[in-house]
Amino acid sequence: MLDRRPSSHEDLIDHLVRSTALQRGEAVRVVLDVLAFFDETTEDFVRRRHRELQSGGAVNAEIFDRIAAELRHRAVAPPELTLRQLRRIVYG
């Protein structure tokens, strides 16, 4: 297995190994997965959530209100976007 462990996260990986039943390789994968999740840009998040909610049967009026609310709770919240800005991200 290729060890892509970022050296700046060694303490976190060590903590996960000590405090959970995860093996070191599993802890590395968890950390990398979480970092990848939070690396998602605002635009990518909006597009992904729009697709997910639309495929679940929601209509745009509901979708954009929900996305706007969800953005406020991201780990590093982006600036508040208007409904028009959200639509432009999705439709260009």
Q: What is the pLDDT of residue 35?
A: 87
Domain ranges of the chain: 7-38, 42-91
Ordered alpha helix ranges (H), 8-91? 10-19, 24-38, 42-55, 60-71, 83-91
Q: What is the pLDDT of residue 2?
A: 45
Give the residue ranges of the chain where pLDDT is below 70.
Answer: 1-7, 76-77
- What are the pLDDT digits (tens) for 57-78? 999 999 999 999 999 888 766 7
Beta-carbon contacts of 64 under 8 Å, excluding residues fewer than 6 positions away, are 50, 83, 86, 87
Question: Cα separation of 88 and 3, whole Å?
Answer: 39
pTM for the model: 0.61
Q: What is the pLDDT of residue 14?
A: 95
